[in-house]
Structure 1
Amino acid sequence: MQQWLTDENTFLIGIEGIGGTGKSMLAAKIYDEIEGFPKRFWADVSYGAGFSDLARQVLSEFGFPVPEQEAQLVEALVRCLRSGQFLLIIDNLESLLQPDRQWGSLFYGDFFQAWVEHSGNSKVLVTTRERPELKGFEWLPLKGLQVDEGVALLTVLGIRGDLTQFVELVDGHPLLLRLVADLLKEEYSQDPDLSRLADLGLGNLRQLLTDSQVVGIHRREKVGMVLVLDASFERLSELQKALLLNISVYRGAVESAAAVAVLPGSSETEIEGELRNLVKRSLLLEKLNGKRRFEFQPVVLEYVRYKAGNQTEAHQRAIDYYLLNVKQQPWQTKEDIKEYLEIFYHWYQLENYDSVFDVLDACNDFLSLRGYYTDQVYFYRQLIEVWEKRGEREHWIYLAALTNLGNSYYFLGDYFQAIKFCQQSLEIAKEIDYPDVKAASLNILGLVYRQREQYKQAIEFFQQSLRIVKDLKEMRYRNQEAKLIGNLGNAYQYLGEYLQAIEFHQQSLGLAQELGDSNWEASCLGNLGNSYHGLKEYNQAIEFFQQQLKIVKEIDRQGETNCLGNLGIAYRCLGQYQQAIEFQQKSLEIAREIGDRKGQADAWFNLGLALEYVNRDSDALAAYRNACKLYQVMGLDAYVQDCNNSIERLSQPKTPVVSRHGFWVWLRRLWRWVSSWFRR
Structure 2
Amino acid sequence: MAEEPSLSNSNNIEMKLTAYGDSKGTQVGQINAAEVKIIVDRIEPVLERLQQISQPESPGVLKAGNPNKSLAYWQGRKTEIAQIQQWLTDKNTFLIGIEGIGGTGKSMLAAKIYNEIEGFPKRFWADVSYGAGFSDLARQVLSEFGFRVPEEEAQLMQALVKCLQSGQYLLIIDNLESLLQPDRQWGSQFYSDFFNAWVEYGGNSKVIVTTRERPELPKFTWLPLKGLQVPEGIALLTELGIRGDLEDFVELVDGHPLLLRLVADLLKEEYPQDPDLRQLADLGLRNLQQLLTDPKVIGQHRRPNVGMVLVLDASFERLSELQKALLLNISVYRGAVDSTAALAVLPGSSETEIEGELRNLIKRSLLLEKLNGKRRYEFQPVVLEYARYKAGNQTEAHQQAINYYLLNVKPAPWQTKEDIKEYLEIFYHKYQLENYDSAFDILNTCNDFLRLRGFYTEQVDLWGQLIAAWEKTGERENSKYWVALTSLGHAYDYLGQYQQAIEFQQQSLEIAREIGAHDRFEEAISLGNLGLIYNSVGQYQQAVEFHQKALEIARKTGTPDVEANSLGHLGLAYRSLGQYQQAIEFYQQQLKITKEIGDRNGEGRSLGDLGNAYQFIGQYQQAIEFYQQQLKITKEIGDRNDEGYSLGNLGNVYNSLGQYQRAIEF
Match of 1:197 among 280, 289, 303: 280
> 1:550/1:401 Cα in 2 relative to 1: closer, same or farther (>3 Å)?
closer
Are 2:93 and 1:14 aligned?
no
Aligned runs of 1:517-666 on 2, under 5 Å?
Answer: 517-553=599-635, 555-556=638-639, 559-574=642-657, 577=658, 580-587=659-666
Instruction: Summarize the alignment of residues 82-481 of structure 1 with structure 2, pairs less than 5 Å apart.
Output: 82-215=165-298, 218-434=301-517, 435-473=520-558, 478-481=560-563
User: What is the distance in 1 between the residues matched to 2:445 and 2:648?
Assistant: 34
CA displacement 1:308-340 (0-9 Å, x = unmatched): 111111111011111111111001111111111
Q: Which whole-Å CA distance do the structure 1 matches of 2:421 and 2:649 have between them?
A: 38
Contact 1:565-1:583 within 8 A present in 2 as well = no
Query: 1:7 is matched by which residue type in structure 2?
Result: D
61-70 vs 559-568, which deviates more? 559-568
Judge conservation of contact 1:87–1:123 (CA < 8 Å) in 2. Answer: yes
Question: Match of 1:582, as an amino acid?
Answer: Q
Native 8 Å contact 1:84 1:122 kept in 2: yes
1:111 Cα shift?
A: 0.7
Q: Equivalent residue for 1:631?
A: none
The answer to whether the Cα contact below 8 Å between 1:327 and 1:336 also exists between their aligned partners in 2 is yes
1:649 aligned partner: none
Aligned 8 A contact 2:96 2:209 in 1: yes
Deviation at 1:392, TM superposition (A): 2.8
**Which residue does the alignment assign to 1:48?**
131
The offset of 1:565, in angstroms, is 4.1
Is it true that 1:497 corresponds to 2:570 in the alignment? no
In structure 2, the gaps of 5 or more residues are: 1-83
In 1, Cα distance between equivalents of 2:370 and 2:600: 47
The alpha carbon displacement at 1:428 in A equals 3.2
TM-score when normalising by structure 2: 0.84
Q: Aligned AA for 1:438?
A: E
Deviation at 1:420, TM superposition (A): 1.2
Q: Deviations over 1:602-648 (max 9, x none)?
A: xxxxxxxxxxxxxxxxxxxxxxxxxxxxxxxxxxxxxxxxxxxxxxx
276 and 215 in structure 1: CA distance in 2 versus 1, 3 angstrom threshold: closer
Residue 467 (structure 1) shift: 2.9
* TM-score, L = length of structure 1: 0.83
- Residue 78 (structure 1) aligned with residue 157 (structure 2): no
Is the Cα–Cα contact under 8 Å of residues 214 and 220 in structure 1 kept in the other structure?
A: no
Q: Deviations over 1:72-131 (max 9, x none)?
A: 111000001111111100000000000111110121111111111211111101000001
Q: Is the 8 A contact 1:406 1:419 kept in 2?
A: yes
Q: What do residues 224-255 of structure 1 show as CA deviations (whole Å, max 9, x unaligned)?
A: 00100000000001100000010010011111
What is the RMSD of the two structures over their aligned residues, measured on CA atoms?
A: 1.7
**Contact map agreement 1:51 1:106 (CA 8 A) in 2:** no
Which consecutive residues of structure 1, in runs of 5 or more, have no partner in the other structure? Answer: 588-680
Structure 2 counterpart of 1:89, one-letter code: I
Determine helix, strand or coil for the equivalent of 1:469: helix
1:126 is paired with a residue whose SS is strand
1: CA distance between counterparts of 2:99 and 2:448? 40
CA pair 582-80 structure 1, distance change in 2 beyond 3 A: same
Specify whether residues 397 and 570 from structure 1 end up closer, same or farther in structure 2 by C-alpha distance, changes over 3 A only. closer
Q: Which amino acid aligns with 1:387?
A: W
CA contact (8 A) 2:95 2:206 kept: yes
Q: Is the 8 A contact 1:568 1:582 kept in 2?
A: no
Whichever of the two has the greater Rg, that structure is 1
Pair 1:573–1:108, CA change in 2 (3 A)? closer
SS across alignment from 1:393: coil
Sequence identity of aligned pairs in percent? 73
CA distance in 1, matches of 2:386, 2:120: 38
Distance 1:561 1:337 in 2: 24
For 2:302 and 2:178, the matched residues in 1 are separated by 21
SS across alignment from 1:437? helix
- Structure 1 Cα separation of the partners of residues 140 and 599 of structure 2: 35
CA contact (8 A) 2:298 2:306 kept: no
- 1:35 to partner: Cα distance: 1.2
Question: 1:517: how far off?
Answer: 4.0
Please say if residues 249 and 315 of structure 1, whose CA atoms lie closer than 8 Å, have aligned partners that are also in contact. Answer: yes
* Partner residue, 1:626: none
Contact 1:564 1:583 (C-alpha < 8 Å) held by counterparts: no
- The aligned residue for residue 61 of structure 1 is 144
Q: Work out whether residues 482 and 511 of structure 1, in 8 Å CA contact, stay in contact via their aligned partners in 2.
A: yes
Structure in which a larger fraction of residues adopt helix: 1
1:484 CA drift (Å) = 2.6
Deviation at 1:7, TM superposition (A): 1.8
CA distance in 1, matches of 2:102, 2:128: 15
Match of 1:508 among 590, 599, 610: 590
Which one is further off, 269-278 or 380-389?
380-389
SS at match of 1:114: helix
Query: Are the equivalent residues in 2 in contact too, given 1:564–1:586 (CA < 8 A)?
Result: no
SS state at 1:89 partner: strand
Answer whether contact 1:106 1:374 (CA < 8 A) is retained.
no
The SS at the match of 1:287 is strand
Matches of 2:570 and 2:371, distance apart in 1: 56
Secondary structure of 1:107 counterpart: helix
Cα distance change of structure 1 residues 569 and 297 upon mapping to structure 2, 3 Å threshold: closer
- Give the drift of 1:218: 4.4
Give 1:432 deviation, angstroms. Answer: 4.2
Change (3 A) 1:280 1:330: same
Partner residue, 1:634: none
Shift of 1:556: 4.9
